[in-house]
Structure formats: C-alpha cells, structure tokens
Amino acid sequence: MTKEKKKKTHVPLRLNLLFFAVFLLFSVLILRLGLVQIVYGDDYKREIERTEEVTVNNPVPRGKMYDRNLKVMVDNEPLNAITYTRSQGTRATEMLDTAEKLAKLINKETDKITERDRKDFWILKHPDEAEAKITAADRKKVTEGELEQKDLYKLQIERITEKEINSFTDAELEVLAIYREFSSGYALTPQIVKNKDVTEEEFARVSENLDSLPGVNIMTDWDRTYAFGQTLKSVLGKVSSSDEGLPSERLDYFLSRGYSRNDRVGKSYIELQYEDVLQGNKAKVKNITDKGGNVVESQIVSEGQRGKDLVLTIDMDLQQAIENEIEKQLLQAKKAGNAKFLDRAFVVLMDPKTGEILTMAGKQYVIDKETGKPTINDYALGNISSSYTVGSSVKGATILTGYQTGAIQPNTYFLDARLNIKGTKSKGSYTSMGTINDLTALKRSSNVYMFRTAIAIAGAKYVPGEALNIKRAAFDTLRNSYAQFGLGARTGIDLPNEMVGYKGTDLLPGKLLDLAIGQYDTYTPMQLAQYVSTIANGGYRMEPHIVKEIHDPINDNTELGAVFDEMTPKVLNKLDMKDSWISRVTDGFKKVAMEQGGTAYSYFGHRSYTVAAKTGTAQAFYDGPNKDNYKGLQPTMNLSMVGFAPADNPEVAFAVVVPWAYQGHSSNGLNGKLAQFALDTYFDLKKTRQQAGETDETTENKVVTSKEVQQEQAE
C-alpha cells in the first residue's frame, strides 16, 4: 500500500514540471511576438511594402537636316512599334508565356534566329529532356571538382541534336523570334520587338490586350528617310538600328555620356560628327518596382525633346545637277573608249570667303556583280577620303613659293626647252615654248618653268647633261609652302576620317621637279578646293565646313526653330606672301581661262561670266579597286582643274578631279566639261533665284518639307 501511494504522488509532480515548462515557453513566445509586433512592427511593414524608383531614359527622334535653301534632306518617318520592358525579377518561363500570347496577335519575321537561339529555346521548352542529357557521370565530375556547374549547361547545348532544333513548327519559331527580342533587352529598358511593317490591325490588337501581356507596350518609333535618295548619302552618314544599338568599338564612350546600350546613334560622317546635337534630350520615365523587382507603376518625369536640326551649306539643286552631269559624262566616256580605268570623278564648289561647301559631288562607275551591268554609285566621300596626283593644277602654289623664297620674281623669264639631267629621264613641257615669263608659264602650263623654279628653290644650277646637286631641304620647303594653301594637309572640314594624302619618300632631284608640277605627292579634291580658295580670297586659308547652322527643334514642320549655333568663317592661316604676288598669280589664272591660247580657254573663253582657272594633267598609274587583275603598273592620265568666278570678285571656287581619265595622248577633256557645267549651273541657278526673289535672305525660315521635295523630284 505504501509503494502504490508513492507512485501516485510522483506522476503528478512530473506533469506539473512539464506544464510549468510549457507555460514558460508560451510566455517567452508571447513576449517575443509582442516585441516583434509592437516594437518592430512598423519596420517590418515598411520592408514588405518597400519599393524602388528606377529612372529610364527613352530615346526621341533625331534632328533633321536641311540644305542651305531649307529643303529637307534627312527626316524622321514615324513607325508604329511594339516594345517589351522586362522587370528585374521576370523569369524565363514568364517571358515565354507572354511571347506565346503576343505571337497570336502579330506576325514576326524569323530570319534573325540563330542556331544558338534554337538550342536555348529547346531547353526552355523541353526541361525534362534537357535535364536527361546530363549523365550521372557528369554530375560526379562536378562533385569531384573536374567540372564546374556552368559546364553542365555547355554539355546540354552540345548534345542537342540538329533534328531536335529543327523540330519547331512555324508558330513556335514566331514565338522564339519574339522571345529572343524579350530576352535581349535590359531590365526596365524598353526593347523594340517589332517596328517595321506593323499593321494597324496588329497595333490595335496589341493595344486591346495589354492587360494580359505584362511588359508589352505600344509606342511610336522612327526611322531615317532621305528626301533626295542616294544623293550625298555617304556624307550624311548612317544611324545604328535598334538591333545594333551602341557600336561596340565606342561602347564605353557612349555609356559614360548617359546612353543606353540599345540606343540608336550616328555611326558615320555628319550623323556621327554632330551626334551630340542630333540625339536630342531623352524622355525620362520613372519605373517604381516592388521588392521582387516587378514594375508596379510608371511615371513620366519629362517628355523629352527631339534632336536639334542642322542646316547644311550644301545647295541640293546644284549638287543634284552636277551629280547627274558626272554620271552622264562617265557613261559617255566609257562608251567612247580609251577610258579603260576611268571609274570616278569629283567636283567640289566652295565659297572662298566663308569656307562653305556648296557642292561635294562624287560618283563611281562599278559593274554590278549579280547583273554584270554598269551602275553609278554615290562617292561624295571620295572628296576627302581619296587622293591623287593632280598635275599642273598646283602650279599656282609653285609660282608663289618661288616668289616667297626669292627663287624667282614676278616677270622672271626662263627658256622653256627640255632639260637633260644626268641620271634622270629627259623632262620638258608638252611643247617647247621659247623664253616665257611666269604669266605665260601659267597660261600655257609650262612644266619647264616650274622645273627651273624648283631648281632655284633647291639652290642648284642646271647644266645640260650634268647631275643636279640640290638641297634636299627643298622638298620640305615646297611641301611646307603647299601646306599653307591646304595641299598635303588636313583641311579641317567638319567630317571625320579626312585623308591627308601621300608624300613621296624618294629625295632624288628628278622627284623634286615632279613635285613642283603635281606629279609626285597626292592630294584630295577638297584640298584642291581649299588651295584655290586661298588664292581667290587674297591669301586666307579658310576652314571648309558643311554645316551652316544648328537650330532648336519645334513641332511646326513648316518652320525652323531659333538658331542654337552658327558656324562662323574660320581662318586657319594667312599666306606669308605679298598681296601683289597673289594678284599676279590670279592674273595668270585669268589668262588660262579667258585668253586665247590658255589651256582652259575653250571651256570658258565665251561664257557670260569671267573665270580664273588652272588645268592639270598628270601621268599616273592605275591604283584602283581592280589593280590586282593586271600584271605590273598600268600607265594612265589623271585630269584636274581648279578655279574661281567671277575672276575679279570671286564668289565660288571649284575643284574637279578625274582620276585615270584616259590612256594614251588623246584627252577626253572631262575636267573642263565638268568645270564648265558646274559654273554654268551655279550662275543659272543664281539668276533664276534672283528673278524669283529666292535669295538666301528671303528663304529664311521658309522650310520645304520632305513631301514637297519628293513632289518636286517627281515633276
């Protein structure tokens, strides 16, 4: 009985201890819950409701380009666009689901899909089969450290068969094409899914279903349009597509300036050179995201403003007329024969007082590889990116260098007879001219007069049959003097990638004589235009420019906004020469064009305007794109001409270059024909505009729109 009683009293004691322990635990739990709710409750609530604000810059249309008469050259065509903005926490399966829904509403081209895209998509669509491609042995190697986890994905990719990646239906490929655009974008940055050929029906269907398409939106995009087609297009430049985004070679440069990776930017020439003003101010959108990275609200911070507009110095009426004439003359010369290597021609017209480029025309004759037929392409860029020996056109600089160095004086006479120098092939003019002075030497284009001038500059004495002992520094003397005019130096034009030209490396006496007549170093057509402009304006080397003004953008397509910046004439240097010397060379140039016997008289002697000019013919070798088709150097002749008009009060300077114009001794005269046409057209247009009251002053702020330009073209 006693033992039974002891057992009965022992059991309740343990239960009491257990109950007490439970009581204590519940008390601690209640205290902890109270602490969390009362003391830290607001903090945890704020953490749950926490959001982040991320500001995204959306691109705006680029600025337009106009010619000097305010005709629209480059415009923006609005495009319906469908975009996708990926949230930070969006999973691949969620994007796939949205892509499948969107594919039912739009048609999407599949030509950009790559083999890798197909493999990634196959893994996404067949996760179990993709997982089965990894063996137990592969996983063991990861455990043992022979492989990394990321290597398993590489093995999956490698083991997907061609049959598997070609098993997709056309509908699935459309989904893949859309998914591909989704995944290529950056978080919270709109990515273009489709902006070409978006029909009104597609645009409406997507708009009606936006609620069921997370991340998808509709907007108006733009594309560059060119009112004058291919005319000057190579100089206007290119803009990257929405697929390209920022060019990889300049990625850091643009990112450091606030660009997004998929922004469209200028890739070349004017579009690149003036990117900072053409780009405009982006629209700012503030995306508010929750803790999971999902966008819960978007707010427009600023609407943005399209890029500023450029007014170019180019006269498109003049540009087009001259381009058409170059094309016509190239085709005629090729048909006439004796022009085997002829494939290009250039014409630059420039205001010698301001440096404004009125025309920068260049055309190239090519054979279409597919059709085998000839075609003429725009090659305006060749005016700054290619250089040639130009012959006697540079003789004005040679005469002035002779004056400056004291080698000759105005009215110095030399006997024009062939020179026989030991170790050098006999050199002379195209005919023996007798004893002539500097003016006649320019008028009739004497080589010997330039040779004798160069010999004097080099401190040498010519003795028939003996060697010339020249000072080699004479090469630098001539070249440095030429550079004062812009020959062999960058002109400073507001375009990238300007070529300087080639300087011969041999310092033999005969090469110095070749240099003096433009048959050694090479020059660009733009350098020739700057050189002759320097003579035309009395000795000021003007920096050429192709942009005249920058204007603020406005929404009214019939007017220009206020002037933001104006390109004022810039003098690069003043010739260290007497005004009377420059006037003397100008007189020689006038004799070339206006006096019978002058080498350009047949082209300008009977015009209604006066011209000062200098012709050039250079013995050269073909160095064009097809040179590898021939064995050895192929002799040919380059033609050039420079000048200005009116001769006594110049308002336009010109340079014409026709490389590899003909073979043999019979010239086709393309330099003179093109120069004559260019000046005729310039003065005809001037007269027509004066009669119509359409001078530069009266056309101020009178914009000719793209549609009006196209209508004018059609007429």
Which sequence positions are flagged as catalytic? 392
**In 10 A of CB 286, how many CB atoms?**
14
Instruction: Report the C-alpha gap between 360 and 346 in whole angstroms.
Output: 8
The answer to whether the beta carbons of residues 193 and 102 sit under 8 Å apart is yes
Phi, psi of 302 (to 5 degrees): -150, 145
Q: Is the peptide bond before 646 cis (omega within 30 degrees of 0)?
A: yes
- Which residue carries 């305007």 as its tokens? 609
Instruction: Report the C-alpha gap between 123 and 165 in whole angstroms.
Output: 10
Side-chain-facing half-sphere of 584: CA atoms under 13 Å: 24
* Strand intervals (E) in 114-167: none
**In 10 A of CB 148, how many CB atoms?**
11
Q: What is the DSSP letter of 427?
A: B
What length is written for the chain? 715
Strands 65-66 and 309-312: parallel
Kindly state the tokens that stand for 649: 């009060």
Side-chain-facing half-sphere of 417: CA atoms under 13 Å: 7
Q: Give the gyration radius of the chain's Cα atoms.
A: 38
User: Dihedral of CA 549/550/552/556: which sign?
Assistant: positive
Instruction: Report the C-alpha gap between 329 and 356 in whole angstroms.
Output: 26
**In 10 A of CB 521, how many CB atoms?**
22
Instruction: Report the C-alpha gap between 582 and 318 in whole angstroms.
Output: 29
Torsion on CA atoms 661, 664, 669, 670, rounded to nearest 10: -10
User: Which amino acid, residue 562?
Assistant: A
Kindly state the tokens that stand for 43: 């903090």
Residues 6+ apart with CB under 8 A from 454: 398, 474, 478, 512, 513, 515, 516
Phi, psi of 444 (to 5 degrees): -100, 0
**In 10 A of CB 46, how many CB atoms?**
9
Q: Helix, strand, coil: what percent of the chain each, to 5?
A: 40, 20, 40
Helix axes 149-159, 136-143, angle to 10 degrees: 160
